[in-house]
Structure 1
């Protein structure tokens, strides 16, 4: 199945607290957020945004977000965790409760196996990361326990240095960072834009070494997935934390879900903030610049943006606040990203642009659904 029509990301591998710090969302703001797993758009409902527009070229990712929204509407906290797959439970029975809240249940009716197994770990990348966690656990299980029980950051960094940062770890990262593995084993088109395997290994092993001294891995949802192969109640994304569920539920009507591309958002109105994930991971320079042109065309003057840079650090065609970006990178618990943030000049619209009148995933013309070769254009 094509990467651009399948479930690739279903849990959480980014830090929503970083987005909230970077975007400084105010009451009345409209926010554009790439959908991916749906975690960041839902996290952004913890802000005072008037509207969060979740945009993705992959309709399956938008269907996932619609399912999560429906589950949030009708399930209590423990039922929600069970339905998603974070805990055990009769998920088909819970789906029967969720189904009436879906605008169109056809997508999920056709995927009972995914529902039964829990959508949280159903994504392409979740399967890869859980497989890696299984192997890491076999080799370093006792030391993972020590890592997650470290009393101080100094202790954690020392445990990492002595028991993880070795030739076996670097070799595994090097192997799993190869373009062939990404493109032909995982089926990840972003592999075309990776540096060589040695460069990937140096970058990633350095990122983990640095993170071991910056924050406790036990507080990072991404670290739990990498090392334990699961998420933990004490390290959930912002919107799923028990204390935040009531606020998120209250604000679900502020969320709009749209199938589409960054390169053409002309019908969506003006935005005051942009949460852009690592879209550059799927771009050459021309595609990257075209997407930024699409963003700036709908940016209100002074709009804030947050972009993640993974392995393809293309030159930014917009102003970057280096100090803010460095601070956000230092505090980010997703380990593997550099953060770019700043302000966009934007344009004063000649005429008013009303918000998109879309409240659930919508159909896209066949020629608007992109192939891997099209990347984000």
Structure 2
């Protein structure tokens, strides 16, 4: 990763005013975050689109992450989408997915390359059909070598969703489960929510009582693989033991939504999307949506930059849908104030801001100056509905703010 990109991440993550041990943990996380973290974003775009009320006049700015949600937002027909990310690997992944959507000849090829993402022919597909349309930095990333010397594009022949920080974490969780003679994929064969509940209660729930699991999850570094920095670990745990928090989040993922309508469950328990036509996929990868996504792809731009800085460079009254993922959990009070100052300056009438938090409550009251936050109304009922609807199930809260008239 170029030094400038590394610096962007370290500035965003490291709490320089914190005690030395906290700073060391922050720096360790920043190191881990420099490579690919999320091959698939872990926020539910359907819940987002419902809460944000995206329409033809919507001018969206969002953190890119794995790129799935921005592509899925195109199905709601927005005016424009600006994707911003600090991570070089995420930028390269977004651009590769865009090229695949635009240039692969048909749905079968798009599905093979992005959804299944493990065919031996995918490297040839990349070389012949995608690489000629990519910028030099993106080609350099995918044709470069990973830590063990393999070309990064080869991950699309081995299952890209098994790679990255989160993919590796899920893989280790599967190994741990098998040590206790549990096959995580068992729940994907459940025929009803009742069956899912039975499998969870009988097979998964007892793991969280194991001494090894409780010991492992008691250390902040153990959750780096979920993309959770030390500052967010504290918010996620609250007053509870981390093993109990993780059990509750996994229970929602396993039991609250039918697995035949939850592609996040397939990623968590199966380490990839299902292969059958009946299996769930993100909106942008669904056959019926591909023509719309292709037609609207020019409305989407990608920037390798700090989110607040992009807003600072924008004109007044230039956006009206802001999607912050969980980035605010990392921020100091000063960073939050600067971010919301720029959001407020650039907000068009009717603007909405959506974000997630590791803990359940919104983190803004008392941390963003009242003079800024008073311009925004917290939509509590809609926030609670979005939290319930979020199939990814990893976050404590989904929060929606609307600009006051």
TM-score by length of 2: 0.76
Residue 352 (structure 1) aligns with: none
SS state at 2:378 partner: coil
Instruction: Please tell me whether the aligned partners of residues 130 and 225 of structure 1 are also in contact (alpha carbons under 8 angstroms).
Output: no
The equivalent position to 2:113 in structure 1, one of 69, 78, 83, is 83
SS state at 1:166 partner: helix
Residue 196 (structure 2) aligns with: 156
The equivalent position to 1:124 in structure 2, one of 152, 157, 165, is 165
- Cα deviation code 1:123-164 (max 9, x no counterpart): 22112112213432564545742x323333233223322322
Cα separation, 2, equivalents of 1:137 and 1:293: 49
Q: Counterparts in 2 of 1:1-377, with a 5 A limit?
A: 2-3=31-32, 5-75=34-104, 76-84=106-114, 86-96=117-127, 97-104=129-136, 105-111=139-145, 113-118=151-156, 119-137=160-178, 139=180, 141=182, 144-145=185-186, 147-168=187-208, 172=213, 175-176=216-217, 178-182=219-223, 186=225, 190-195=229-234, 198-233=240-275, 234-264=279-309, 265-269=311-315, 270-311=318-359, 315-316=363-364, 317=368, 318=373, 319-337=377-395, 338-345=397-404
How many residue pairs align between the two structures? 343
SS state at 2:398 partner: strand
Distance verdict in 2 for CA 1:174–1:158, change over 3 Å: farther
SS state at 1:230 partner: coil
Distance verdict in 2 for CA 1:136–1:31, change over 3 Å: same
Cα separation, 2, equivalents of 1:212 and 1:116: 31
TM-score by length of 1: 0.81
Instruction: Please tell me whether the aligned partners of residues 12 and 237 of structure 1 are also in contact (alpha carbons under 8 angstroms).
Output: no
Residue 349 (structure 1) aligns with: none
Cα separation, 2, equivalents of 1:6 and 1:155: 38
Instruction: Please tell me whether the aligned partners of residues 386 and 398 of structure 2 are also in contact (alpha carbons under 8 angstroms).
Output: yes
Name the one with the larger helix percent.
2
Cα separation, 1, equivalents of 2:271 and 2:62: 27
Distance verdict in 2 for CA 1:187–1:24, change over 3 Å: closer
Cα separation, 1, equivalents of 2:262 and 2:155: 24
Distance verdict in 2 for CA 1:187–1:168, change over 3 Å: closer
- Greater shift after overlay, 248-257 or 132-141? 132-141
Instruction: Please tell me whether the aligned partners of residues 64 and 70 of structure 2 are also in contact (alpha carbons under 8 angstroms).
Output: yes
Distance verdict in 2 for CA 1:108–1:56, change over 3 Å: same
Distance verdict in 2 for CA 1:74–1:241, change over 3 Å: same
Cα separation, 2, equivalents of 1:9 and 1:230: 13
Deviation at 1:190, TM superposition (A): 1.1
- Cα deviation code 1:220-245 (max 9, x no counterpart): 22222222222224122121122211
Moved over 6 A (4+): none
